[in-house]
Structure 1
Amino acid sequence: MLTMAVPTAMAAGTTGISEGKKLVLGTSADFAPYEFHKVIDGKDQIVGFDIAIAKAIAADMGAELVIEDMGFDGLLPALQSGRVDMVISGMTPTDERRRSIDFSETYYKSKQVIVVRAEDKDKFPTMAELENQKIGVQKGSIQEEIGQKIAGAKLTALDKISDIVLQLETNRIDAAILEDTVAVGYLDDNIVLAPAVPDEEEAEAAIGIRKGNTELLNAVNATLARLKSENKIPQMVTEASQMMAGKETKTPNILEVFWQYKSFYATGVGYTLLLSALGVIFGVIIGLIICWFRLHDAAILRWIGTAYVELIRGTPMLVQLMIIYYGLALTLSINFSPLQAGIITLSINSGAYLAEIFRAGIQGVDRGQMEAARSLGMGKAAAMRFIVLPQAFKAVLPAIGNEFVTIIKESSIISVIGMVDIMYQASVVKNITYQGLNPFLIAAAIYFVLTFILSKLLGRLERKLSASDRR
């Protein structure tokens, strides 16, 4: 699998703009009006004035713009690993970030504000009242650095601005630090600005470029200089703000949300099933191989099998995903796509658990079965294939079914790297509708339907295989 996947992954890497004339942009599309999801002509699109600037850069370079949506804290690793060519996400060029990447000239300035619930507006007249309070910030942002300077503040750092606002609405935090331009999209009768204002200079936004890519850096600065001379950036900000202000005033119920965005969820279901199916297939293959290692007479093979099982079961799947998606790109320049990384992660993870399931099933078969087969002249391999494995498979089928169900649910982890599965689409719908609960209730219902159907099918198979035992 790796032999077939690596050449494709290497070809998909972004090593230079001249390759295919594609300019790959990394962004976190939950930062209106900088970048955000919006349904236009029935299609989900990422818009905002950052995106408008990126399109201008691509047009000046004669390149096709490709947008990669991911978590804000994943933007720098994606840029350093060559997965994207540039990052535009309202990012402030701090000294710490400059040690990792290069930045263009600044293109926008904004101020920081404190957002609170309407009933708490008078509680925070100055920044002093925010001490020892629970404050929401975006992970890896300049707002997080501001929050860290507030004495005794208990910070809740999340990837998405919409999640931070949801934390505020549900009384899990007392206040949130946002950029003024971004905060406008969330202000209403319940969420308002506090009188307190962070004692910080205006935050500058710049475009991140991989270190050493001076050709792209010069091209980006040239486009920014042109846009500034033509006074285009304020116009882009105004247009993006108008699109952001066009959100629905009527709150649709859960059925209306599902029907309106059914195509989003349908796409997510397709990718989830693809991830799960391939993860199961390769997981079974890996599991059988590792199981064979674990039961082999050679000590070195038993050690390899044991080490694999203990290592994979002893580390979180999210860590394994980060190593495969970002780690291999940074160390070996192997750039797997989100789909490839997801399949590989699910396969190697489920393979460890399936190996132990298979081993338990094989060892549960009476040893006399093997001895009887050998006494009839069957070889060890034939006896294992025709006598032991069929019995073992029937014994462990319920456990295998549980693992299959688990894979479907755990595939949701892959959404953190931009895989368009059910959870990713639910987040997109949440960002479009500004609803924090309904999109995820729909996702939960879809997961339940998928796992329920799979459980019933496996149950029928189990009953069919055990029919002979009742005769």
Structure 2
Amino acid sequence: MKVCKSLFAVCFSVLIVFLAVAPIASAAQDTGKKVVVGLSADFAPYEFRKNINGKDEIVGSDIEIAKRVAAADMGAELQIQDIAFDSLLPALDSGRIDMIISGMTPTDERRQNVDFSDTYYISRQVIVTRAEDKTKYKTMDSLKGAAIGVQRGSIQQDIAEGIQGAKLSPVDKVSDIMLQLESNRVDAAVMEGPVAEGQVLNHPDLAITDIQIPDSDTPMAIAVQKGNTELLGQINKTLAELKANDEIDKFVEAAFKLNSGETDGETAEQIKDKPKPNIFQIFWDYRSYYWQGIQYTLFLSAMGVLFGFIIGLIVSLLRLSQISVFRWLAMTYIEILRGTPMLVQLLIIHYGIAQAFNINFTVLESGIITLSINSSAYLAEIFRAGIQGVDRGQTEAARSLGMSYGATMRHIIIPQAIKSVLPAIGNEFVVIIKESSIVSFIGVADLMFQAQAVRSITYSALSPLIIAAAIYFVMTFILSKLLGIVERRLSASDQR
């Protein structure tokens, strides 16, 4: 009984704090005119993360263009959302962002769903491979049957699909393409020219081949929602002014120098020969990134288990109800959530609901809701097993003493059931800590999101992930030990 009361007290307290703080945070975000731009900040020199004066910033030529559109010409605050590239169009379609400026090519297929601005830059496409294989691939025909790495949903994927017999390996991040090349997972990669130059500069074991891709000059444009002629007109006006003064080329050149480190006084050759930081240096230099990620991960996991606990308990009681409609609803809820991937649930909640009902949850709210309902389906079955594991004779004894069904469940059955399934609840917490990494897909700055940011900044494809894995292990190991202590104390009280 004491265990049950304590758990409910903690849950209720955290719920009150969350409900009190959330409106304040939302109100702070909604003040003033703003323009929200979506991008994938791993596409240097167009958009990338850079540690400037100890502060993580998203910079690049596209950012300078976005600033000019928003602040200089519209008098609005620019807000940037770092989202996986293949999620940018759903984010725009659902109204979560106002425009996309992420080196996007205005293809006919994309024009069916969004409107594009005038072209603001023409880029070329190149083939990147390992340095020792540079002479192996001299023409497009030499790539027949090769394994090709590309960024998912990009124009580079379309180009690679035209290579006869090519085995495509699409990934979300440019850093993942580099990891594929260095680990011999792919033979070559199709990349945008300046992006490839920046990567090769920081990866001496890679090289850009001499292959000339036919018709590889691709335009870049800014995407807006279909029919948003007012914003589109303002963007085109700004782009015309920038192109008339050749400012966009200057933006690209300055961003390339910033990304390569040449602005710090180092030449390209010095940067290429510079020793790469080891895993311990990366962890220490970017410890603030990981610390912020840990905070978000633990908060998301705690909220997921908290609300999952409350929802799961309610669903389990409905599942055990004598009313068939309630049982059917509970079973349907459990089977749907357990039978569908969490990623699909996340995308439906974050993008689908916004598009269908115009309800725009923040990325944090979408993450919490997804983790909560997914966890609740599993916790509901855990609670059901715990309740059914309590001796039926106790229910009969309570009812014979005149206690109602509700009072019997509240005072006798549920406290014993929660105590017996507490280890399973703790295990669900451990699972949620690991599964919460999926919310980085929509831009929540959790531990995995921060690890990806460090990968983009350091050009180290593997070390930041190993650091993240070690942190996840430490968190789950400590939690498992704490749960073991709690379980032993509860077992000791049973033996007295």
Identify whether the pair has TM-score above 0.5, normalized to the shorter chain.
yes
219, 222, 225: which is aligned to 2:234? 219
Tell me: CA distance 1:264–1:189, structure 2 relative to 1, closer, same or farther (3 Å): closer
Unmatched tracts of structure 1, length 5 or more? none
432, 436, 441: which is aligned to 2:457? 432
3-state SS of paired residue (1:466): helix
* AA matched with 1:167: Q
Measure the CA separation in 1 of the matches of 2:398 and 2:455.
Answer: 60
After TM superposition, list the pairs within 5 Å mapping 1:218-367 onto structure 2. Answer: 218-246=233-261, 249-367=274-392
* AA matched with 1:370: T
* AA matched with 1:398: P
Residues 441-462 of structure 1, C-alpha deviations (whole Å, 9 max, x = no match): 1111211121122112221211
Measure the CA separation in 2 of the matches of 1:222 and 1:231.
Answer: 14
3-state SS of paired residue (1:83): coil
> In angstroms, what is the RMSD of aligned CA positions?
1.9
Measure the CA separation in 2 of the matches of 1:47 and 1:100.
Answer: 28
477, 481, 489: which is aligned to 1:452? 477
Measure the CA separation in 2 of the matches of 1:439 and 1:303.
Answer: 46
Q: Does 1:75 align with 2:88?
A: yes
Q: Does 1:146 align with 2:170?
A: no
* AA matched with 1:439: P
Measure the CA separation in 1 of the matches of 2:227 and 2:484.
Answer: 58
Tell me: CA distance 1:254–1:201, structure 2 relative to 1, closer, same or farther (3 Å): closer
Answer yes or no: is the 8 Å Cα contact 2:178–2:461 preserved in 1: no
- Could you tell which deviates more after superposition, 367-376 or 279-288? 367-376
Q: Which residue of 2 aligns with 1:178?
A: 191
- TM-score w.r.t. the length of structure 1 is 0.95
Q: Does 1:205 align with 2:220?
A: yes
Deviation at residue 387 of structure 1 after TM alignment: 1.8
* AA matched with 1:32: A
- TM-score w.r.t. the length of structure 2 is 0.90
Residues 131-189 of structure 1, C-alpha deviations (whole Å, 9 max, x = no match): 11100111111111111111111101111111111101110000000011111011143
After TM superposition, list the pairs within 5 Å mapping 1:345-424 onto structure 2. Answer: 345-424=370-449
Answer yes or no: is the 8 Å Cα contact 2:304–2:368 preserved in 1: yes
Residues 273-319 of structure 1, C-alpha deviations (whole Å, 9 max, x = no match): 11111111110111011001100000000000000000000000000
Answer yes or no: is the 8 Å Cα contact 1:112–1:200 preserved in 2: no
Answer yes or no: is the 8 Å Cα contact 1:279–1:347 preserved in 2: yes
3-state SS of paired residue (2:170): strand
Measure the CA separation in 2 of the matches of 1:349 and 1:462.
Answer: 25
Measure the CA separation in 2 of the matches of 1:468 and 1:139.
Answer: 55
Q: Which residue of 1 aligns with 2:48?
A: 36
Q: Which residue of 1 aligns with 2:75?
A: 62
Answer yes or no: is the 8 Å Cα contact 2:179–2:462 preserved in 1: no
User: Post-superposition, which runs of at least 4 consecutive aligned residues in structure 1 deviate over 6 A?
Assistant: none
Answer yes or no: is the 8 Å Cα contact 1:394–1:462 preserved in 2: no
* AA matched with 1:189: P
Deviation at residue 8 of structure 1 after TM alignment: 6.8
Residues 388-431 of structure 1, C-alpha deviations (whole Å, 9 max, x = no match): 12221222112111111111111100000000000000000011
Deviation at residue 36 of structure 1 after TM alignment: 0.4
- Could you tell which deviates more after superposition, 346-355 or 191-200? 191-200
Residues 114-142 of structure 1, C-alpha deviations (whole Å, 9 max, x = no match): 00101111221110111111001111111
Q: Which residue of 1 aligns with 2:100?
A: 87
Measure the CA separation in 1 of the matches of 2:92 and 2:419.
Answer: 48
* AA matched with 1:448: F
3-state SS of paired residue (2:148): strand
* AA matched with 2:51: V
104, 108, 114: which is aligned to 1:101? 114
